[in-house]
Structure 1
Amino acid sequence: MILVLGEALLDVFAGADTATGLLFDARVGGSPFNVAVGLARLARPVAFAGGVSTDRFGERLLQALRAEGVDVSLVQRPVAPTTLSVISADAAGVPTYAFHGDQGADRQLCAAPLEHLPAAIRAVHVGSYPLVVEPIASSLRRVVEASRAQRLIACDPNVRLNVEPSVLRWRAAVEWMVQRTHLLKISAEDAGLLYPDVPLDALARRWLAQGVALVVATCGGDGALAWTARAQGSARAQEVTLVDTVGAGDTFQAALLAWLGENERLQPQALAALSGEELGSALRFAARAAAITCGRRGADLPRRAEL
């Protein structure tokens, strides 16, 4: 089983003007939430741990997790509002986000119940703004420290400068994670934000030298790249009639983890031993999944039969 830690929120799509305001389309989401749902839809056992509000929105989030078959036994229910992420997409389908949730339930995660996880949990995925906002950032670090010797740690920074505008804070969080992460997935856009003067391949080599077993970079329409200390792989982006890219990176990560699980590679040593051919297969599987999400509105991740 894979445990996904982080935020669950509502993605709110701004619609047309009305006589008295605006129409909105609210959908369950959040980067780690999406990864958990994506894994469940790809028929992988998965649990979600995060703060889910007791308000009406939180009840809907919990209902969605249960309906997808995600284990919610580690979910915490703080009395705090659900964070709203208001999304607008440009003509090319590229989204911009405005987050409303400084005191949101997704930031209120207690580490103590998560420091001694069930033996069935083989991997822990973290990422997004819980890496940099408190109090969840401190809780997340405690869980990672407690788990990294026994379990695979996966991370996708998924940088959101409109939640935490300090690039230095994001970079510090990523550097902390690099020392404790076995699988690091990052978008080329995020890498450029954090390290504008460092080419992707040099960045990957640096992280591998610091102990990461597998580095994966998603490059939008240019496909994806992967590096271990002994091999490299790549995959082209899949052609799709684009609706928007909301949830594409989360889909890619969920599908990558699913491929690794299906092929018995969810161990640090197994990641490091992946061949170039295996890396290409994993990337192509993840790229196909991400393309399906890009052909739909919002983070509507594919199911296993679609792949």
Structure 2
Amino acid sequence: MILCAGESLIDMVPAEGAFRPLAGGAVYNTTVALGRLGESVAYFWPISRDVFGEMLLQPLVEAGVDLDLCPRSDRLTTLALVSLSDGEARYSFYDEGSAGRMLTPGDIPDLPAGIEAIFAGGISLVPDPCGAAIEALIDRNHARLPVMVDPNIRPFFITDSDAYRARLGRILPQADIVKLSGDDLEWLYPGLDPAAAAREVLKTGPGIVLQTGGAAGARAHWSGETVSAPAIRTAVADTIGAGDTFNAGVLASLRRQGVLSKQRLATISAEEIRNALTLGAQAAAITVSRAGANPPWAHEMPGA
């Protein structure tokens, strides 16, 4: 079972002069996508008892996600006001004192024996105490479990860039796989082209750095030659949840190929990486073809 740890929130999406509430959050979207793809997945993040918390629970339950590790909270759900510009999503967050924000390192449970990998990232890495909590989860478990991290950097959410860079400097070297968009790489290494920036991240310790670029497709930087996979052409409704769904496709593929373990990731082949990038691109293409973060179900995937 893959454990996804990180934020869930409500995206307030523009709709006919008002806002429509939709379940979202980077790690939440990846969790739902994994479940819809038919993968065994668990979620760890506090979920509010407010009406928005109930909205968040429904897609998780429908996707078959294991919620045994999810504490319920009387604090409010994080809200993200979404604005769209040429299909690209931009966010403003209402997060102070929220259910997820107040997760502490002391809330991190011992992981059940069935957990075989960890996925984490998103804005949950930025503020404390929740950022320290996710960092503690990775620190305690990365030596025995493979870890994938997508920081999904939102500069306008970061109030202390030095502290956040320091946190990423501790977390990313502990990861087996790091996924970074072009915007992420520009923030981490201003002035470097994305491929050079991705290689700088690789030097810090991860086994694989995935570089994504929307229509430009995805690349994997690792110990071998760079592996590439093209984006799948489709009519784009918006990009909400695209990278999150890509992450789910990558993890699903790695698991199906039998390489989602510390030992096998150390000996992974270029073809196995290419397969993972391709499934990620296929899943993301379906998500961008429809409004909001609406990942595909297994029967909607090519070849199903």
Query: Which of residues 112, 117, 121 is equivalent to 2:115?
Result: 121
The 1-side partners of 2:122 and 2:65 are apart by 19
Q: Which deviations, in whole Å up to 9, do the C-alpha atoms of 1:101-127 show, x marking residues without a partner?
A: 111112122444534201110111110
Q: Which of 37, 47, 53 is the equivalent residue of 1:42?
A: 37
CA RMSD after TM alignment: 1.6
Aligned equivalent of 1:78: 73
Correspondence 1:209 to 2:183: no
Aligned partner of 1:156 among 142, 145, 150? 150
Q: In the alignment, residue 211 of structure 1 is paired with which amino acid? A: G
CA distance in 2, matches of 1:73, 1:262: 24
CA contact (8 A) 1:39 1:255 kept: yes
SS at match of 2:48: coil
1:12 maps to 12
Q: Is 2:297 the partner of 1:303?
A: yes
1:275 aligns with 2:278: no
> Displacement of 1:276 after TM fit?
2.2
SS in 1 for 2:72: coil
What is the alpha-carbon distance in structure 2 between the residues aligned to residue 180 and residue 8 of structure 1? 23
- Unpaired runs of 5+ in structure 2? none
Name the SS of the counterpart of 1:162 in structure 2. helix
* Residue 22 of structure 2 corresponds to residue 56 of structure 1: no
Q: CA deviation at 1:222?
A: 0.6
Q: Which amino acid aligns with 1:13?
A: V
Q: Measure, in 2, the Cα distance between the counterparts of 1:193 and 1:110.
A: 27
Task: Count residues in correspondence.
Answer: 301
Q: Is the 8 A contact 1:99 1:162 kept in 2?
A: no
Task: Report if the CA contact (8 A) 2:30-2:244 is conserved.
Answer: yes
- Contact map agreement 1:37 1:68 (CA 8 A) in 2: yes
Length-normalised TM-score, structure 2: 0.94
In structure 2, what is the Cα distance between the partners aligned to 1:159 and 1:210?
Answer: 18
Letter in 1 for 2:190: P
What is the percent sequence identity of the aligned residues? Answer: 36
Distance 1:28 1:115 in 2: 25
Shift in Å, 1:204: 3.2
CA offset at residue 296 of structure 1?
0.5
The alpha-carbon deviation at position 54 of structure 1 amounts to: 1.2
- Asked if structure 1 preserves the Cα contact closer than 8 Å seen for 2:146 and 2:262, the reply is yes
Q: Deviations over 1:217-255 (max 9, x none)?
A: 101111100021124210111111010000000000011
Distance (whole Å) between structure 1 residues aligned to residue 41 and residue 178 of structure 2:
19
Q: Please give the per-residue CA displacement for 1:22-45, whole angstroms capped at 9, x wherever unaligned.
A: x22111111111010010011110
Q: How far apart are the structure 2 equivalents of 1:40 and 1:163?
A: 28
Q: Does 1:28 align with 2:8?
A: no
- Contact 2:185–2:194 (8 Å) recurs in 1: yes
SS of the counterpart of 1:264? coil
Structure 1 residues 180 and 304: CA distance shift in structure 2, 3 A: same
Deviates more, 1:290-299 or 1:138-147: 138-147
Instruction: Tell me what 1:20 maps to.
Output: none
Match of 1:105? 99
Q: Secondary structure at the match of 2:156?
A: coil
Deviation at 1:141, TM superposition (A): 1.5
For 2:245 and 2:176, how far apart are their aligned partners in 1? 19
- In the TM superposition, what whole-angstrom CA distance separates every residue of 1:32-91 from its partner, at most 9, and x where no partner exists? 11010010011110010001111111122123211211011100122211111111112x
Q: Is the Cα–Cα contact under 8 Å of residues 48 and 71 in structure 1 kept in the other structure? A: yes
Q: C-alpha deviations, 1:242-281, integer Å up to 9, x for none?
A: 1000000000001100100111111233223222222222
Task: Rate the CA distance shift 1:232–1:272 in 2: closer, same or farther, 3 A.
Answer: farther
> What stretches of structure 1 of length at least 5 have no aligned partner?
18-22
SS of equivalent to 2:174: coil
Inter-partner Cα distance in structure 1 for 2:170 and 2:176:
13
Amino acid in structure 2 at the alignment position of 1:98:
S
Offset of residue 197 of structure 1: 2.5
Task: Select 1:240's aligned residue among 229, 234, 247.
Answer: 234
Q: Which residue of 2 aligns with 1:219?
A: 213
Q: Which residue matches 1:67?
A: 62
Distance 1:171 1:111, change over 3 A: closer
Distance in 1 between the 2:96 and 2:54 partners? 20
AA matched with 1:215: V
